[in-house]
Structure 1
Amino acid sequence: MKILHVAAHLGGGVGKAHAALAEARRDMGSTERHGFLLLERPEDQRFAESIVAAGSEVVVCPSQADIIGLVAEADILQVEWWGHPRIYEFLARNALPEHRLALWCHVSGLAPPVIPAALSQLADRTVFTSPCSFEAANLQVAIAERREGFAVANSGFGFPGRPPVPRQQGSELAFGSLGTLDFAKLHPGFFDVVDRAKRDLRVRLFGRVDPSGAVAAKAAAMRHPGRVVFEGHAEDPADALAGLDAFIYLLTPDHYGTGENALVEAMSLGLCPLVLANPAERAIVTHGETGLVATSIEDACDWLDWMVENPDAVTRLGAEAARRVAASHSPGASVAAFEAIHAGLMEAPKRPRNFVEALGAAPAEWFATSLGGPLALAKARRDRAVAQLLMPTPAKGSLGHFKRCFPGDSGLAQFSARLP
């Protein structure tokens, strides 16, 4: 069986997940053959190189003729979906031969960028990275009509062979966080929670941050700015997290995340997480068993104070988090899930699909589809998730990102002119 993966690139969480799966397939002796077609040259080659080393082929920016040939040769076409402009272009502008289609969705779809319902109806199987995606409002009809067309395969994995580092009895807890230090994902109240803590503490933040941006400004405006330490990008997340006891991971309610690699990795190392009750985090953390799930920023303040006062209880929660993540979030488990999915897909015939009808024919239509359709624009003023994608910055799936991919496109220019 030959599976052709189409991805915009293999950076970030998608590349990390596929590198882990490729190594697991090799170690498990899988007979599936996997190839990767990348639509952009990856800025970071590490994950692509790891995938090649594990026995898979990676083709970067092929010609249209090569694309047609690769799709025709594959038993299954698996599109790695996260609303990237190049994926829209690939599907809508190539007359693809008949194929079997799987989608692996690397955004939750609960807020823009959405998982287009019409695309999920075209797919033979839509695979979520978290069960939280079953709550996506625009997919409810499609799920109700064909529940067997949807499945889940984790993309977030822990660190195997890295046992939790035990905290010394009587020592204070070490707090930290790792991930996207941008208010597109980080909750603006994060710094308020740290600032309001009754006892002095330090929270180490690993990740790139714009020193002139909103996050740095918010931290600088704290009453106790010394409580937050910006550590910069962590080349080795396992080493960065290994020195911590608790993971403060407070994300905005409409964030696009789903598998939440950083959260799963922290839990695998025995860190007790403090999260907000967002769907993606609730699918990973069980309150009072594998961590703490706050119902609001005010509730998070109370739980942070509780953690400081109850270090031994925090350590026990972290130990249980590590045990459960080891059982549920492993590359081997996701490889097995996909092998079952792919075997089932082989029973379906190859067929053509009208992606233009499902997604639109031009970049402005694709961007509107990513927002959730024309109706989403009407509420752009009050919908924070939509407003984030309308920003001119080239953030993932934003209007700026589409303009960067399709410079000079008149439809996108007219789209900008019509914005409220």
Structure 2
Amino acid sequence: MIKVLHIIDWLCLGGAARAMIATSKYSARLGQFEHRLISLKSPDPMALELAESSGMKFLPTSGHASILKAIENVDIVQIHYWNTPKLFEFLQSELPEMRLLIWFHVAGEYPPQVITKELVDYADFAIPCNPYSYELPVFQKLPNEVRVKKIGMVYDAADFERVVDVKPQPHDTFNVGYIGSVNFSKMHQNYVSISAAVNIPKVQFIVCGGGAEDYLKKQAQELGAVEKFDFRGFVEDIKSVIETLDIYGYPLCEDTYAAAELNLQEVMYAGIPPVVFPHGGIKRLVINNYTGLVAQSESEYTQALEYLYHHPEEKARLGRNAKEYSQQLFGAENAAKQLNPIYQKLMQLPKQKREWGIPIGSTLLDQPLSLLDVLVPPEKFIGARAFIQSLGHQAKPFTVSLTSDHIEHLLTAEQQISDSSILLGLGEGGVNHYRDHYLNDGYLRMWLGLVLRNQNRNHQAISEFQNAINLGCNHWRVFWYLAQSAEQVQNIGLAENAVNQVLGFVPNFTDAQEMLQRLQALLVSDVTHLELKEINLIIFPDWKQPEESVCSELMRVIKALINHPDKRYIKLLIDHQNIADEEADLILSSVVMNLLMEEELDIEQEPDISLIGELTQPQWLNLLSIVQGKISLDLENLAIIERFNGDLIPEFSLETLLDWRGLELKNGTWELWKLREQNYIVFPDWKQPEETLYLELADVFQAITTLPNKSEIILYINSKNISDEDANLILSSMIMNLLMETELDVTEELEIVLTGQLTTLQEQALRSCLTARIVLEHEDKNAIACLGGETLPIYEGKK
């Protein structure tokens, strides 16, 4: 009995783990092999159950020593490799004598999922999991005798028992499936747009997999194509999905690390023809025009899907070929038949001690020196060093960043790091992944900051740059990166401090000098001393009026704010240009104290109020661009309002203030929207004749005005695809006609709000506050899709 110990970074339900479990099951069935398993991270319970039910023996470990003991007790160690910091760190640790097989579960061409020479040298036997990877230079440049001796190709293998006896189920849509990771480190970044462009009646794109599905839904809404997509999240029972598919649309990004994609093997085994791009290992899994269609461009991908819809006989032919091809080449049983002889071949070798970077049979003196050997980075940057080594020959910009003292070379290299692909920057095995594992490595922090800054995620970039500096990565250029991000988010004080640090080291740095001038100009308009909040409202009392009148108005305003449902977010700013600070403060304190006593309120319920004090003209302009509105008073300082164009600010009366609620947009800004307990929306088709619009909306108006809780209702009328002027004109005419015909004064009975032209962020915010959608006979379908109205509850009438 040959004992094989499988070591994997994480036992989960991903492709590498499934391939390991499936091939081990068939290996044991076909020969005298016992398969044991160690997961460097805590295993997923469902995956662990699958592994054990398939015959693998899971070995819980209590640390590195227990793993070493497990290695000593087996005949062969099989590493399931994709680049992760934990697995790479394990390979570089001191390990006992062993026979080592590495099965590479990545395409291996693009960083960070690179198959490096050092990895191949480290193994007794190395197995790429698809023909595309086998043809990479890292294997093909080996001497022929070495390649024959220690390199093989075994497909990552699906367990076809998951999809055995797939029987097509009847469906009235044309279904294009996608099963797998839903993120742009794998999926093509234009997946939604190229799918939405497909012109097929009743097409449905069924997307199964977790990740960025919310972002994809948003893209579909923006394209008005929500009805074409069905996002299902993670699905374990893929058989039930495959039985309803017509085509498998699997467009991946150009630098994908996809290798032998088990989901692709499974759908082909079920006779579903795939349409793919020629990226990664996919290009050698699908034979164009025989087992599927391989598109060379986005437009060709769209055309391929349409072609198969219009030519069902071709779809059937490709499906039959795909099924036969996958039965012959793919599957865990076929893979096990290849692996078992490799295990037996390895048993002819002695167990050997090995050292990272030194091929078996060689010595340290035989190896060429690398830059990291000559310029050994400090121990505190061990994570950055490991990351560089994991990228092999593709790590040049990171190596320069870590070792060079030439500023032009550094800035050029770090610009390249900023421009990293999504996979290299934020994907598995990338900068962010290594940063999470080596939290105290300043260089990994700086590199992640560069990636985030390039994506305009400057708040997060600032945190990374600050941590980098505190962790010893404190060259002046890091302060420069920090200053740039701080300026982008208008953190003027932080940007000024950082740029001054830069100029302390390089006083003639022109870009830094220019930034400092910009910052100093902005500091003149700084209003941070007012400690603004999410919602900032301003009033302009006329302090020259009798004190009793001023106090009365202040009390009314403050009382309204105390009772406002969003009071914890509100800051009230009070102008007092024509009165001394001390006198204004005294009056205000008296008003607040009397109000708290009269209303029997806790001091914690006191509203957040600031007297504005003296501001410069730039500060006034800055403040008035920030505040969400002005509360109108009976007695106002009209001269100050006119002087600073305060009349251009949105104005709110005290009587309606409680109806205006704060809404936070996804970009962090806040706006005031008219909202009540129940907020309904209609989506009229403004292209209909005015008479049709009148009849449909009049029914809605009359229905709502008869409700006993009509005072708690606001009716939003979507006006996305019509100008505000035209919408108001049509609406005014309708209301007048309704008054003349029924004597119903809608303006008195019902609060109506036209949405106007909303941004995507505003649509998302409003959508979260809507109670229900009132359905009309004629509706604007595009407006419904953009706002996500199809997912709103439907108004059912009187309760």
**Normalised by the size of structure 1, how large is the TM-score?**
0.89
Q: For residues 63-78 of structure 1, what are the structure 2 equivalents within 5 Å?
A: 63-78=63-78
Partners of 2:88 and 2:233 in 1: how far apart? 33
The share of aligned pairs that are identical, in percent, is 24
Q: What amino acid is the match of 1:109?
A: G
Deviation at 1:382, TM superposition (A): 6.2
Look up the equivalent residue of 1:49 and give its one-letter code. E
Contact kept? 1:185, 1:252, Cα under 8 Å: yes
Q: Could you tell me whether the CA contact under 8 Å between 2:5 and 2:35 is conserved in 1?
A: yes
2:136 corresponds to which residue? 136
Q: Which of residues 201, 207, 210 is equivalent to 1:208?
A: 210
Show the counterpart of 2:294: 293
C-alpha distance in 2, partners of 1:349/1:296? 50
Aligned positions of 1:112-261 closer than 5 A: 112=111, 113-142=113-142, 146-148=146-148, 149-157=150-158, 159-160=160-161, 162-166=164-168, 173-200=174-201, 201-210=203-212, 212-213=214-215, 215-261=216-262
Give distance in 2, aligned partners of 1:318 and 1:385: 40
The equivalent of 1:106 in structure 2 is: 105
Alpha-carbon distance in 2 for matches of 1:67, 1:209: 32
1:37 aligns to what?
38
- Counterparts in 2 of 1:18 and 1:220: CA distance versus 1, 3 Å: same
Of residues 180-189 and 347-356 in structure 1, the stretch that sits farther from structure 2 once superposed is 347-356
What is the letter of the counterpart of residue 260 of structure 1?
E
Higher RCO (CA-CA < 8 Å; seq separation 6+): 1
- Does 111-120 or 365-374 show the bigger shift? 365-374
Q: Distance in 1 between matches of 2:200 and 2:334?
A: 42
Matches within 5 A, 1:344-363: 344-355=345-356, 362-363=382-383
Instruction: Write the distance in 1 (CA, Å) between the matches of 2:443 and 2:357.
Output: 16
Letter in 2 for 1:18: M
Kindly provide the CA deviation profile for residues 265-310 of structure 1, in whole angstroms up to 9, marking residues without a partner as x. Answer: 1111111110112241221111111111111112112212211211
Q: Tell me if structure 2 keeps the 8 A contact 1:380–1:386.
A: no
Does residue 388 of structure 1 match 2:422? yes
| Helix, strand or coil at the partner of 2:152 | strand
Q: Give the aligned residue type for 1:387.
A: S
Give runs of aligned pairs for residues 75-90 of structure 1, distance below 5 A. Answer: 75-90=75-90
**Change beyond 3 A, Cα 1:408–1:71:** same
Task: Give the C-alpha shift of residue 220 in structure 1.
Answer: 2.6
Looking at structure 2, the residues matched to 156 and 140 of structure 1 have their Cα atoms a distance apart, in angstroms, of 23
Counterpart of 1:174 in 2: which secondary structure? strand
Aligned with 1:371 (options 363, 383, 391): 391
Q: Which moved more, 1:152-161 or 1:196-205?
A: 152-161
- The answer to whether residue 374 in structure 2 is matched with residue 342 in structure 1 is no
Q: Specify whether residues 243 and 383 from structure 1 end up closer, same or farther in structure 2 by C-alpha distance, changes over 3 A only.
A: farther
2:275 partner SS: strand
User: Aligned residue for 1:283?
Assistant: 284
Q: 1:233-291 deviations in whole A, cap 9, x for unaligned?
A: 21211111111121000111210110101111111111111011224122111111111
Structure 2, unpaired ranges of 5+: 360-369, 373-378, 399-411, 455-799
1:404–1:183 CA distance, 2 compared to 1 (3 A):
same
| Cα distance in structure 2, aligned partners of 1:194 and 1:227 | 8
- From the superposition, tell whether residues 384 and 199 of structure 1 become closer, same or farther in structure 2 (CA, over 3 Å): farther
Secondary structure class of the residue paired with 2:396:
helix
Q: Is the 8 A contact 2:19 2:156 kept in 1?
A: yes
The residue type paired with residue 269 of structure 1 is A
Q: Is the 8 A contact 1:364 1:415 kept in 2?
A: no
Distance 1:77 1:209, change over 3 A: closer
Query: Aligned partners of 1:106, 1:197: CA distance in 2, in Å?
Result: 33
Q: Which moved more, 1:259-268 or 1:218-227?
A: 218-227
In the other structure, the counterpart of 1:7 is 8
- 1:405 has 2:437 as partner: yes
Indicate conservation of the 8 Å contact 1:158/1:325, yes or no. no
Q: What secondary structure does 1:187 align onto?
A: coil
- The change in CA–CA distance for 1:312 and 1:379 in structure 2 (over 3 A counts) is farther
Greater shift after overlay, 293-302 or 100-109?
293-302
The alignment status of 1:53 with 2:73, answered yes or no, reads no
Task: Look up the equivalent residue of 1:20 and give its one-letter code.
Answer: A
TM-superposition CA deviations, 1:368-393 (whole Å, max 9, x none): 123334315477766999432453x5
Aligned pairs, how many?
Answer: 413
Output the CA distance in 2 between the equivalents of 1:100 and 1:307.
Answer: 49
Report if the CA contact (8 A) 1:158-1:266 is conserved.
no
Q: How far apart in 2 are the matches of 1:380 and 1:157?
A: 41
Which secondary structure does the structure 2 equivalent of 1:10 belong to? coil
Q: Deviations over 1:16-61 (max 9, x none)?
A: 1122223323443x2112211221102x222222322343321234
Deviates more, 1:228-237 or 1:98-107: 228-237
Judge conservation of contact 2:35–2:56 (CA < 8 Å) in 1. yes
Q: Is the 8 A contact 2:22 2:332 kept in 1?
A: yes
Question: Alpha-carbon deviations, 1:182-201, whole Å to 9, x = none?
Answer: 11111123223222223332
Moved more, 381-390 or 179-188: 381-390
Determine the structure 2 residue equivalent to 1:20. Answer: 22
- Bigger mean CA deviation after superposition, 290-299 or 204-213: 204-213
**Under a length normalisation based on structure 2, what TM-score does the superposition of the two structures give?**
0.48
User: What is the Cα deviation at residue 137 of structure 1?
Assistant: 4.3
191 and 411 in structure 1: CA distance in 2 versus 1, 3 angstrom threshold? closer
Paired residues of 2:122 and 2:358 also in contact (CA < 8 A): no
For 1:417 and 1:195, locate their aligned partners in 2 and report how far apart those are by CA, in whole Å. 34
1:380/1:117 CA distance change after superposition, 3 Å: farther
Q: Distance in 1 between matches of 2:385 and 2:136?
A: 21
Higher CA-based Rg? 2
- Aligned position for 2:777: none
My pick for the range that moved more, 377-386 or 105-114, is 377-386
3-state SS of 1:208 partner: coil
CA contact (8 A) 2:258 2:280 kept: no
Q: 3-state SS of the aligned residue for 1:52?
A: helix
Q: Quote the Cα distance in structure 1 between the aligned partners of 2:336 and 2:64.
A: 30
Q: Match for 1:119: what amino acid?
A: L
Provide the C-alpha distance between the structure 1 equivalents of 2:244 and 2:449, rounded to a whole number of angstroms.
50
Partners of 2:416 and 2:439 lie apart in 1 by: 28
Query: Following TM superposition, by how much is the alpha carbon of 1:132 offset from its aligned partner in structure 2, in angstroms?
Result: 0.8
Deviation at 1:62, TM superposition (A): 3.4
Q: Does the CA-based 8 Å contact 1:272-1:290 persist in structure 2?
A: yes
Q: Deviations over 1:195-245 (max 9, x none)?
A: 2223332211111243553x3333333243322221222121111111112
Partner Cα distance (1:380, 1:180) in 2? 29
Contact 1:121/1:142 (8 A) holds in 2: no
Whole-Å separation in 2 of the counterparts to 1:35 and 1:175: 39
SS in 1 for 2:142: helix
Rounded to whole Å, the distance in 2 between the matches of 1:411 and 1:61 is 31
1:341-360 residue CA offsets vs partner (Å, 9 max, x unmatched): 11111222222111266898
CA distance in 2, matches of 1:211, 1:279: 23
